[in-house]
Amino acid sequence: MSVRARLSSTVPLLLAVGLVITSCAAGDAESVESQEGGTLVYASGDAEPTCLDPHVGGNYPQALVSTQYLEPLVGRDATGQIQPWLAAEWSVSEDGLAWDFVLQQDLTFTDGTPFDAAAVKANIEHLQDPDTGSSTGYLAVQKVVEVEVVADDVVRLHLSEPDSALLESLSQQWTAMQSPAGMARGQEENCLAPIGTGPFVVDEWVVQDHIRFVRNDDYRTPAPAAQHDGVAHLDAIEWRFIPDAATRQAALTSGEVHVIDNPQPDAIAAAQSSDEIDHIDAPRPGSVNRLELNAGHAPFDDPLVREAFIRAADPEPGIETLYLGTVTRSYSPLASTEATAVSVPELFVTDVDRAEGLLDDAGWTGRDDDGVRTKDGERLTVRFPVSTNQSVAAEQSLFEQIQANAAAVGFEVVLDPTDLSTWYATLAADEYEVVSAPYTKVGPDVLRILYHSDGIVPAPSGYFANHAQLSDPALDALLDEASATIDEQQRAALYDEAQRIVLESYAILPLYDQQNHFLTRGVTDVAVLGTVATPSFIDARLVG
């Protein structure tokens, strides 16, 4: 499959958004020579996407790959400030119900289709079309009721109600812009090679092996965090899928690959003292890695049982020993990268005696021969499906420790390691009581996605985000008000109160920031975007 269409336009340099990491093969960038051209080899431990169009579904592996060929309307810098990208500027009406975006002029997609207001309209409508099967992108533009083409370079989004998170949502890869002509080919063909404005073009996809991206020789946007105005230095990127962490690490150490993601903690620790391998720590925005307890049915519909589990879980020792100091324990629903994150450590103090008493009070007073508590003949069993594509080995070991700690007070925790598609199906069938479900979204509005009762209703893709199945009218009201509040101080106060309700519900056990680590060897100037922390290679050069 060859997809090598050209872009023929010039636009001014946009504000840089992101963090640039310089890495090289021998520690000191001045001691090695970088080169023009060549093929960078990337090895991913994330699940291989089933579709390269991030509008379809909307998971993190899609964001990783689509950063190379699709670009959104706006970006975000390391301080959280929204910056121009495909949109040069924007304004909002006094009532917050109309947003005007002035687009960069004279841009085309790599198939020659103009990037204009009509293209933006086609993209928003594609996200909202139930047949697309979008989840993340669908939720991001849920309040858009009409897209008006004001002029070729001006598009107006009409909202059903104010949306203070709209710019944050439009900075994500799941709302990135694609060629309308490309989307019109139909989902099957577009999934194989979406057409964007990015620095690279999808050249081929050999399923269960690799994707090859080739340079867009007429690229002019340029990418966020770009240190130069022009095309990428690399000729191509070979994006391999290597599920086993040890195999990825061996390939990096041998020089077979230049960048890996999802390294094990010991590999990260070793890189920090290495002269040949560099480490990029880029935690994802939005929510933390956490356990969510399903409050929608027994036994965790009882808040006493939820608190008992939280008090018995005791993740701290496991985090310290398994992660070798590469992560920091969280006590907040929001990532440390979010300025509005609220941390309440006292709610999560381990207290086995209190856990035992709470279970007694909840009526789980019997014990069977296995030491599992019983009530009315039912065992205190909780099912815990684990996505092996999303949880590295250290995290899976942590879950086993939590399983043992909870067993000490009478819980039977049934861990079920499974592939990503089976994991999704298990959640959709509501066949779980505990789950670790990472969700990446720019900004604190992720709280609305994860904990508003509306989030129990599946998106068109079938995915629902409120896995804790919290349904609290007071919480809903706060999240609705925060979503409609433009004033930053007022918005932060509302999110503060909302987070405290979530934490005090004992429906989640915060663990640590969503881990996003990259190890590099033989390459310099790898950048990580300030939006959803995906790597960009616009400035990257091979060295040696």
How far are the Cα atoms of 428, 476, 539 from residue 543, in angstroms, in the given order? Answer: 46, 52, 13
Domain containing 479 equals: 288-513
Q: Is pLDDT above 70 for 268? A: yes
Q: Measured in whole angstroms, how far is the alpha carbon of residue 271 from the centre of its chain?
A: 24
Choose between 3 and 426: higher pLDDT. 426
For residue 446, give the CATH number of its domain. Answer: 3.10.105.10
Q: E strands along 162-268, which residues?
A: 200-206, 210-215, 236-241, 259-261
Of 220-229, 316-325, 341-350, 373-382, the least confident: 220-229
For residue 126, give the CATH number of its domain. Answer: 3.40.190.10
How far are the Cα atoms of 5, 103, 342, 447, 464 from residue 498, in angstroms, in the given order? Answer: 48, 35, 10, 8, 20
Give yes or no for a contact between 182 and 3, defined as CB atoms under 8 angstroms apart.
no
pLDDT at res. 449: 93
If one counts the domains in the chain, the total is 2
Residue 380 CB contacts under 8 Å (≥ 6 apart), including other chains:
299, 305, 359, 364, 372, 373, 374, 410, 411, 412
pLDDT digits (tens, 9 = 90+) for 436-445: 988 889 999 9
**Mean pLDDT of all residues in 229-239:** 95
Is residue 219 in a domain? yes
Is residue 4 in a domain? no
Whether residues 393 and 526 share a domain: the answer is: no
Is residue 215 in a domain? yes
Is residue 3 in a domain? no
How far are the Cα atoms of 173, 195, 211, 348, 532 from residue 191, in angstroms, in the given order? Answer: 15, 10, 13, 43, 21
Residue found under tokens 């519909």: 301
Show the tokens assigned to 259: 């960048």
Q: What is the DSSP letter of 542?
A: E
Instruction: For the beta carbon of residue 349, count every other beta carbon within 10 angstroms.
Output: 12
Distance CA 128, CA 122 (A): 10
Q: Is pLDDT above 80 for 225? A: no
DSSP 151-164: ETTEEEEEESS--T
Of 130-134, 161-165, 389-393, the least confident: 389-393
Q: What is the pTM of this model?
A: 0.86
Q: Is pLDDT above 90 for 24? A: no
Whether residues 191 and 335 share a domain: the answer is: no
Choose between 35 and 252: higher pLDDT. 252
* Closest by Cα among 318, 206, 226, 201 to 14: 226
Give yes or no for a contact between 531 and 172, defined as CB atoms under 8 angstroms apart.
yes
Of 4-8, 51-55, 66-70, 189-193, the least confident: 4-8
End-to-end CA distance of the chain: 32
Q: List 301's β-bridge partners, or say none.
A: none
pLDDT tier, 142 (very low <50, low <70, confident <90, very high otherwise): very high
Q: Is pLDDT above 70 for 98? A: yes
Three-class SS state of 442: coil
Distance CA 281, CA 283 (A): 6
* Closest by Cα among 284, 196, 233, 333 to 529: 284
Q: Is pLDDT above 80 for 14? A: no
Instruction: Give the side-chain half-sphere CA count within 13 A for 242.
Output: 23
Whether residues 294 and 252 share a domain: the answer is: no
Q: Is pLDDT above 90 for 458? A: no
**Mean pLDDT of all residues in 466-486:** 96
Choose between 136 and 12: higher pLDDT. 136
At position 242, the amino acid (one-letter code) is: I
% pLDDT > 90, the chain:
83
Q: What is the largest CA-CA distance in the chain?
A: 74
Q: Is pLDDT above 80 for 7? A: no
Choose between 327 and 24: higher pLDDT. 327
Whether residues 478 and 523 share a domain: the answer is: no
Whether residues 58 and 150 share a domain: the answer is: yes
Whether residues 235 and 364 share a domain: the answer is: no
pLDDT at res. 439: 87
Is residue 172 in a domain? yes
How far are the Cα atoms of 107, 150, 175 from residue 221, in angstroms, in the given order? Answer: 8, 23, 17
pLDDT at res. 489: 94
Q: Is pLDDT above 80 for 425? A: yes
Give yes or no for a contact between 34 and 541, defined as CB atoms under 8 angstroms apart.
yes
Q: Is pLDDT above 80 for 278? A: yes
Give yes or no for a contact between 230 and 486, defined as CB atoms under 8 angstroms apart.
no
Residue-averaged pLDDT of the chain: 92
Distance CA 200, CA 218 (A): 10
Which phi and psi angles does 503 have, rounded to 5°?
-65, -40
3-class secondary structure for 255-285? CCCCEEECCCHHHHHHHCCCCCCEEEECCCC
Three-class SS state of 414: strand
Whether residues 199 and 149 share a domain: the answer is: yes
pLDDT digits (tens, 9 = 90+) for 332-381: 999 998 999 999 999 999 999 999 999 999 999 999 999 999 999 999 99
Whether residues 214 and 322 share a domain: the answer is: no
pLDDT at res. 224: 66
Of 100-109, 115-124, 166-175, 389-398, the least confident: 389-398
Give yes or no for a contact between 445 and 165, defined as CB atoms under 8 angstroms apart.
yes
pLDDT digits (tens, 9 = 90+) for 503-534: 999 999 999 999 899 999 999 999 999 899 99
Is residue 71 in a domain? yes
Is residue 9 in a domain? no
Whether residues 323 and 265 share a domain: the answer is: no
pLDDT at res. 32: 57
Whether residues 360 and 462 share a domain: the answer is: yes
Whether residues 317 and 449 share a domain: the answer is: yes
pLDDT tier, 222 (very low <50, low <70, confident <90, very high otherwise): low
Distance CA 354, CA 19 (A): 45
Is residue 7 in a domain? no
Give yes or no for a contact between 196 and 110, defined as CB atoms under 8 angstroms apart.
yes
Residue 13 CB contacts under 8 Å (≥ 6 apart), including other chains:
222, 226, 229
Whether residues 272 and 381 share a domain: the answer is: no
> Where is 19: in which H helix or E strand?
strand 18-21
Choose between 194 and 488: higher pLDDT. 194
Q: Is pLDDT above 80 for 15? A: no
